[in-house]
Amino acid sequence: MTETMAPLRKTALNAVHRAAKSKMVDFGGWDMPVDCCGLIAEHMAVRTAVGVFDVSHMGDIQLRGPGSLAAVQHLCMNDASKLAVGQAHYSAMLYPNGTFVDDVVVHKLSDNDYLIVINAGTREKDVQWVRRTIGHMPGVHVNDFSDYYTQLAIQGPRAAETLQKLTPTDLSTIKNYWFTWGQVCGLYNVMIARTGYTGEDGFEIYIPSDEPTSARVWGEVLEAGAEFGILACGLGARNTLRLEAGMALYGHEISDTINVFEAGLGRYAKLDKPEFVGRAALLEVQAAGGPGRKLVGLEMIERGIGRDGYTVFSIDGKRLGEITSGSPSPFLKKNVAMAYVPGEYTALDTEVAVEIRGQMVKAKVVPLPFYKRAKKSA
């Protein structure tokens, strides 16, 4: 008997992507564009001008009520008590053993109201985890608003100029990882966040998820950015951009088998908080002298591309680990990768070998991130 496959879920912009002849793929059960205008062209548009991404497959969980801060504090490893209204921060939900349920961005909407943006590929699992972990806590209501919004990411050095044409809100007043509400494309009370997953300046906007509104705003963003060379971008460019920026992807650099210290994300785990899920396990790792392996950046020295899942060896042939993400870097014109290796192989310029189609190809340990955008001069 043939097993029936569940149909792929679609964002409100699915018909727009298909009409534009974008290359579509199954991404975590979603029918998503991986390539709209060519990966390299899209990547370079974001690094040098502006690109727009449909990221409506991301999830949105709202915690509301007088117990919402206590719930966020128990659920996530960063310290939400330090957030001001209108501020966001990077965080993660952990299992009791200190490994990742998912990495998230927490937004403080008001003193009793928080929005947690979660990853698309882990959406259902995350929602179930949140309900199971904090659903019993007093004074907090958990709502999954994931399907209520179309989320667009406008990214790149010309992102602010592009979006400014579409809103009376002064975008220069929104600092990195802050947000506000304003009018965008004639829509009121749109959340405008200075966040992103590309290593560039940019904004994410949350608009109603009906198809006509989503298609209209998508088109107006492309029209506003036309003078800057804006391109519609797919998940392929999003992946190479975040790799250059050294950003983690669930199932690659972070997972339920990788702990916070191994992933190099300990700075976001506020162990001085009284309690959160996974804290005790992280304290044990710390007390034992830290993790035995760590995430490093690799740059290929010899000709070859280290791809996801390729094995990393020491120069004398000892198996060290695997590449978690690897690709040519369109902007840096180098072949780069991230991998987990034992602590004694993490020093900068340490040479290792990557097995590529049966051949050992040399690489060296380099700092993360591979790319860091230049700060604007005052």
Dihedral sign for Cα atoms in the order 244, 247, 248, 250: negative
pLDDT band at 374 (very low <50, low <70, confident <90, very high): confident
The tens digit of pLDDT for each residue in 3-21 reads: 556 789 999 999 999 999 9
pLDDT band at 28 (very low <50, low <70, confident <90, very high): confident
pLDDT at 226: 98
Looking at the chain, the domain(s) classified CATH 2.40.30.110 span 292-366
Place of tokens 């698309």: 120
* Angle, in degrees to the nearest 10, between helices 123-134 and 68-75: 120
pLDDT band at 164 (very low <50, low <70, confident <90, very high): very high
Distance CA 231, CA 376 (A): 23
The tens digit of pLDDT for each residue in 49-84 reads: 999 999 999 999 999 999 999 999 999 999 999 999
> Within 10 A of 15 (CB to CB), how many other CB atoms are there?
13
Mean pLDDT of 288-293: 97
Percent of the chain with pLDDT over 70: 98
The total number of residues shown for the chain amounts to 378
* Angle, in degrees to the nearest 10, between helices 39-48 and 235-244: 50
Helix, strand, coil: what percent of the chain each, to 5? 25, 35, 40
Distance CA 213, CA 194 (A): 22
Residues 6+ apart with CB under 8 A from 158: 49, 50, 225, 228, 230
Distance CA 128, CA 135 (A): 10
pLDDT at 378: 42
Tokens read off for 189: 């009370």
pLDDT at 1: 45
CA 245 vs CA 235, 239, 291, 337, 367: distances in Å: 15, 10, 23, 11, 11
Mean pLDDT of 133-152: 97
Tokens read off for 88: 């966001």
pLDDT at 114: 98
DSSP string for 318-363: -EEEEEEEEEEETTTTEEEEEEEEEGGG-STT-EEEEEETTEEEEE
pLDDT above 60: residue 377: no
pLDDT at 3: 56
Distance CA 162, CA 51 (A): 10
55 and 151 Cβ atoms separated by less than 8 Å: yes
The tens digit of pLDDT for each residue in 209-222 reads: 999 999 999 999 99
The tens digit of pLDDT for each residue in 301-310 reads: 999 999 999 9
pLDDT at 99: 98
The pLDDT mean for the chain works out to 96
Instruction: For the domain made up of 14-56+148-244, give the CATH fold.
Output: Gyrase A; domain 2 (3.30.1360)
Tokens read off for 353: 């070998």
Distance CA 129, CA 123 (A): 10
44 DSSP assignment: H
The tens digit of pLDDT for each residue in 319-358 reads: 999 999 999 999 999 999 999 999 999 999 999 999 999 9
352 and 314 Cβ atoms separated by less than 8 Å: yes
pLDDT at 375: 78
- Does an H or E element contain 80, and which? none
89 and 177 Cβ atoms separated by less than 8 Å: yes
Tokens read off for 271: 């162990």
Least confident of 16-20, 26-30, 193-197, 228-232: 26-30
322 marked ligand binding residue: no
Mean pLDDT of 30-59: 97
Nearest of 207, 200, 206 to residue 233 by alpha carbon: 200
pLDDT at 4: 57
pLDDT at 112: 97
Looking at the chain, the domain(s) classified CATH 3.30.1360.120 span 14-56+148-244
Percent of the chain with pLDDT over 90: 95
pLDDT at 6: 78
DSSP string for 232-290: EE-HHHHHHHHHHTT---BTTTB-TT-BTTTTT-GGG--TTSS--TTHHHHHHHHHTTS
Nearest of 226, 189, 184 to residue 203 by alpha carbon: 184
Instruction: For the domain made up of 292-366, give the CATH fold.
Output: Elongation Factor Tu (Ef-tu); domain 3 (2.40.30)
